Amino acid sequence: MAGLNIDNLVDVTVTLSPLAAAQRNFGILLIVGDSDVINGEQRIREYLSIEEVAADFGTTAPEYDAALLFFSQNPQPRELFIGRWLRTPTAAILQGGILTVSEQLMTNWTPILDGTFSISFDGVNEDITGLDFSLETNLNGVASVIDAALVGGSIIWDGTRFIATSATTGISSTVSFASPEGTGTDISAQLRLTAATSAQIIAGFDAETPLEATVILAQNSGWYAETFAASVTLSNAEYVEVADFIQASSESRIFCITESDTGALDSGYSGDIGSILLPGDYTRVALQYSQTPFAVCSFFGRAATVDFEANNSTITMMYKNEPIVTPELITTTQANTLETKRYNVFVTYSNEEAIIQYGVMSGQAYFDEIHGLDWFKDALQEALFNLLFTSATKIPQTEAGQSQLVTECASVCNRAVSNGLIGPGVWNEDGFGTLSRGDPLTSGYYIFTESINLQPQAIRDTRTAPLIQIAVKLAGAIHKINIAVVANR
């Protein structure tokens, strides 16, 4: 018996609060290459191990070589992106749907003596008839029979699906879905090359510059650092174009370059990328001089392991190791030249140890400063956004509301103290609020905001909070030590 609804007496409403926005990952490297593996529409793939990279690229591609250095770091980074640079024009592709295990059985194919289907390449229709698979022993053979009948394109079996490719390249290259031809045994659906069988048409693309590739790949907000590992080395002019874009980007990112030109060791030589970038103060470019191709991937791989949410976790890149990378054997003069040109270098010392030296950006900043402050900026943004987004009621434009904002800022600052990014010290800049030059920052930070009662009405009407000013003292890192010893007999 149903009875009356208990809601009439006890009405309970359950509301699930929205999930807070996730903070950005500052440990993801994007390796950009030109191998014909990732298509022009997909552009980026994610990898969690070198085994996954090898499965896609093999073990001879530049992308694999760069990924090997990245994943060989200790501790090991956890995630990598590889992106496609369309260095040459690409052909239109009809990527068939994935065949099930049962669909791959040759018993489905060998009885066919008169297979037919229609397909169009570059606007020209081809009616394919009389396909005989009776003598074939695998799907590679099936693809070979079809391929021999095609005129304007080709077809392969890649182990999971059939892929048809136009013989032309560029944006004018086209291919259609397969369709029944009208006679014989239709195999268009059996090939999974129809729209109804999960096939996809991938357009042809014109060639692009490294900058154009970077602009497109930047639409994916998941990566933090970019480097190129392609069949050709970028010219210095191309490096500068990408560096300019990364430096000016509203999304905090860095660009990593490996320089193998020995001119970098020569103080009188100005044709290396470090010398070219030096006047521009590129604080978002990290350079490494090395005769090991793509060595900078190991450099960033070490930085990628920093967990900013852990206690005492931030690092300086100085004194770190680069597994697999061959250390450079250079003179003190050459080392000083690399320092002047703002290169990092994995170098051998007289005690037979090899370390990363300098840990700097091309511009006047240390790598760990830029890396850490990028995290700090993102942490502040996400903390304040999530406060507004997840609050069940509004944050009032009152002193109490402003106090909530300041509390969130203080929480992020305390996380930065915990991970070692900021620490106690003396404030050596112009002050604000009650902070003056020369004052000690005992907590490592100081937060100031004007009373909301002093806010001009015109600004209050826009529902904008009063400015919050934060002073933070970077903890820095010790790279060199001076000791004076006096021995008396």
Residues 183 and 292 in one domain: no
Residues 54 and 126 in one domain: no
- Side by side, which strands form the sheet with 200-202? 153-157, 162-166, 93-95, 200-202
Residues 141 and 253 in one domain: no
- pLDDT at residue 366 greater than cutoff 70: yes
Residues 100 and 145 in one domain: yes
Please tell me the distance from the alpha carbon of residue 87 to that of residue 110, in angstroms, as a whole number.
41
Mean pLDDT of 4-28: 80
Per residue in 323-346, pLDDT (tens digit) is 999 999 999 999 999 999 999 999
**pLDDT the model gives residue 1:** 60
Give the CA count within 13 Å in the CB-facing half-sphere of 98. Answer: 4
Residue 281: name the closest of 364, 202, 392 by CA: 364
Residue 461 included in any domain: yes
- Side by side, which strands form the sheet with 124-131? 124-131, 115-121, 185-186
Q: Are 65 and 290 in contact (CB under 8 A)?
A: no
Residue 483 included in any domain: no
Per residue in 380-398, pLDDT (tens digit) is 999 999 999 999 899 999 9
- pLDDT at residue 480 greater than cutoff 70: yes
Q: Are 446 and 427 in contact (CB under 8 A)?
A: yes
Mean pLDDT, all residues of the chain: 96
Number of domains in the chain: 3
Q: Are 264 and 341 in contact (CB under 8 A)?
A: yes
Of 202, 227, 258, the position where a domain reaches its end is: 202
β-strand pairing of 93-95 with 115-121: unpaired
Residues 6 or more apart whose Cβ sits within 8 Å of residue 317: 299, 302, 303, 344, 356, 358, 359, 366, 367, 368
Q: Are 305 and 73 in contact (CB under 8 A)?
A: yes
Helices (H), 102-227: 139-149, 210-217
Residue 480 included in any domain: no
Q: Of all residues in the chain, what percent carry a pLDDT higher than 70?
A: 99
Rounded to 5, what percent of the chain is helix, strand, coil? 30, 20, 50
Residue 22: name the closest of 309, 290, 356, 325 by CA: 309
Please tell me the distance from the alpha carbon of residue 224 to that of residue 80, in angstroms, as a whole number.
10
Q: Which helix (H) or strand (E) holds 349?
A: none
**pLDDT the model gives residue 414:** 98
Q: What is the residue type of 273?
A: I
Residues 238 and 364 in one domain: yes
Of 182, 202, 222, the position where a domain reaches its end is: 202
Q: What is the residue type of 457?
A: Q
Residue 477 included in any domain: no
Task: Output the six-digit token pair for 318.
Answer: 């100085």
- Host domain of residue 451: 396-472
Residues 262 and 218 in one domain: yes
Specify burial of residue 256 (Cβ count, 10 A radius: 0-12, 13-18, 19+): buried
Q: Which helix (H) or strand (E) holds 108?
A: none
Per residue in 54-85, pLDDT (tens digit) is 999 999 999 999 999 999 999 999 999 999 99
Residue 254: name the closest of 214, 289, 290 by CA: 214
Residues 361 and 244 in one domain: yes
- pLDDT at residue 20 greater than cutoff 90: no
Residues 270 and 364 in one domain: yes
Residue 22 included in any domain: no
Residue 487 included in any domain: no
Residues 244 and 330 in one domain: yes
Q: Are 36 and 78 in contact (CB under 8 A)?
A: no
Residue 1 included in any domain: no
Which phi and psi (to 5°) does residue 256 adopt? -110, 135
Of 350, 368, 386, the position where a domain reaches its end is: 368
Residues 171 and 223 in one domain: no
Residue 430 included in any domain: yes
Residues 71 and 108 in one domain: no
Mean pLDDT of 312-318: 97
Residues 6 or more apart whose Cβ sits within 8 Å of residue 76: 305
Residues 335 and 230 in one domain: yes
pLDDT-derived band at 207, boundaries 50, 70, 90: very high
